[in-house]
Each structure stands twice: as C-alpha cells, then as structure tokens.
Copies of this chain bind each other. A is one copy, B any other.
Amino acid sequence: MITVSLVGGSGYGGGELLRLLLAHPCVDVKQVTSRSHLGEYVYQVHPNLRKQTQLKFSDPVALEPVDILFLAQPHGQAQHHIEEYATLAPKIIDLSADFRLRDAAFYEQWYGEKHAVPEWLSRFVYGLPELRRDELKTASYVSGVGCNATASNLALLPLVKADLLDTSAPIFIEIKVGSSEGGAEGNSGSMHAERANVIRTFSAFGHRHTAEVIQEMGVKDVSLTMTAVDLVRGVLATAHAKVKSDVATKDLWKAYRAVANENPFVRVVKEQRGIYRVPEPKILAGTNYADLGFELDESNGHIVSMCAIDNLMKGASGSAVQCMNLMIGWEETTGLEFMGLHPI
C-alpha cells in the first residue's frame, strides 16, 4: 500500500482519477483538495462516489507528505508550485498540460507564454505508457497527456513504429469529441440546449494538443481538426495519411497487431460483420482501452487510421494510473480492469 493525495479534485479529470484511486487495491487516498468546494464531501461533487468514501475536499495549503502526489489543476498552475509539491512527495504525476513538452521554446510557441520553470521540463516523462513504458518505470515526475493528442498518437503509432508513412505527405487528423472534454466549467456554448445535437467544427487547426503529436511521433506536417458531437465521453481520431509506395494491407495488419500485442490496453478492431466493426468510443466509457483500426486505399496509398478512447480514461486519468502502476512496479493493468458496457 502506498499513500497518495490529489491536488485539484473537483474537475472531471480529477473526479475520474479519484474514482480510480479509491478502487485501486494498493492505494490509500489521504487528501483531495479543492478551493471552491472546500469542506464538502467529495460525493457531493462526484455523485458516483456516494457510499464509497467519506473524504472531504481539503485546503491545498494543508497538504501532507505522501508517496505520490497527483496534480489535476487547470493549465498553468502546476508549474508555479512544482518546487513546493516536490517537497511533499518523491513522485509526482501531473495531469495538466504544464509539463508535457520537453522544450521550453516549443512550449512557448504553442502556449503563447514563457514556461515558469523550464528547467523542470526535462525532469518529466511524457505519461503515455504505449510510448514511454521503459522510461516511466524509473521516472519520478510524469506528465499527463492531452486526450486528443493521445487518440492521435495512438492512431499513428503503428505506422510510425513500423516506418510505413510517406513523410512527404501531410497528415490530417479529424477528431470528434464529447462534451466532457470541455471540463466542468464550460461556457455558454456548453449548455445542453446549445450543445445537444451538434456537429460543430470548433477548431480547424492550431489546437495545442498538436504539439504533443509533433513531439512524440516525430512528424512535422500534421494538423488536428476538432469537431464536437453529441456525446459526453469519448474521442475518435480519424487520421488521414499516406503510406510508402509498397505498403499493402497485410503490412498494416502486422504493424497494428504488433502494437496491440505489446500493450495490454490496445486492441485492433477491424471486423467484416456485426455492428461494431471499427473503433468506437461508445463502448469504451470508463475503460482504459485504445481501440485501433485502419483502411487502406491500395490504389493511392491513402490510409485512414482510427483510434477511439475515453478522453477521461486513456486520455487522462486512466493513463495516469497506468503510469503509477509502472512507476511503483505493480502489474500495469491493476485497478484498470473495467471492461466497459454494452449497450450504453
């Protein structure tokens, strides 16, 4: 058993992380902080936790030392307190965007401001086990992942890893997302009457998660186009790219299966019959799976590679717990066994 605390537990990512930590067989949750909900029972904000815990939100200034400190604050906060947090715990997992990029100039380019503690960037490992498993096993500081970046990175991973991409062609990634991605705060466009029934392409290019794709996949000419659809949880990335001239469907099967075999939470979904023939976030709610699929137009090398995830799980809190398991040396899947629901 280890002790953990969570800084910033009232948002959707924090709530999901708390659920996972409470259910984890080897973890004891000491404190969960929230300034805006100070003193409230956590189940009053996260109603699924009723009868599961009597924890109340505490003040971040009263944090006590633990084995692992999780940070789930809005972007831009963790970097201002990281020195302080580091005195409280030998290991830190930060779900925010503060420590995802390794290069300070690259950070400034995408986030439009100088990083507060650039010297800390190199101390963090990017928190996606499918990309950084070995480094994570010995890491002290682990960053979170962008949910859209994760769906994009995993859609590209088999192609990059097997070196099948024609890198002279641009990569267009069309990403469709549910409303939980907008966070618990939201805005006027998040109201149900305005947000229900939408197909709303809210970002054509320039989404900040693009930086994580460039960094982790080593691709250059890549764009993420974001479309909001009527769903609460889930992301589907549909990546359009070009494969090298001699790549055939059988090569792709080999590359995708290899990634699935090496990673307990990756599955290949490519069926000829039935209702569920392709990756779909619908059946992934609450799971840590990343489902991959592809179609190749052999006439011109156009590949459509798909990755479906639950944005709050594999795209945030699930990956964070998976990282923790690796950092401590537990079975990688511990506490992440939920299979998902059908139908839902």
Contact = CB atoms under 8 A, between A and B. Distances in A.
Interface in A280-313: 280-283, 285-287, 289, 291, 295, 297, 300, 302, 304, 306, 308
Contact of A223 (B221, B297, B340): B297
Contacts of A233: 341, 343-344
Interface string A263-279: 00001010101111111
Interface stretch (A77-85, A88-96, A110-118, A184-192): A184-192
Contacts of A51: 267, 289
B47 A304 contact: no
Interface string A124-158: 00000000000000000000000000000000000
Interface of A: 12, 15-16, 19, 22-23, 44-52, 170, 172, 174, 176, 178-180, 182, 184, 186, 188-202, 204-206, 221, 223, 225, 227, 229-234, 236, 238, 240, 267, 269, 271, 273-283, 285-287, 289, 291, 295, 297, 300, 302, 304, 306, 308, 337-344
B50 A12 contact: no
Most chain B CB atoms below 10 A, which of A189, A206, A339: A339
Quick one: copies of this chain in the complex?
4
A306 B194 CA distance: 19
B191 A191 contact: yes
A48 B340 contact: yes
Contacts of A283: 47-48
Contact of A190 (B192, B204, B291): B192
A197 B231 contact: yes
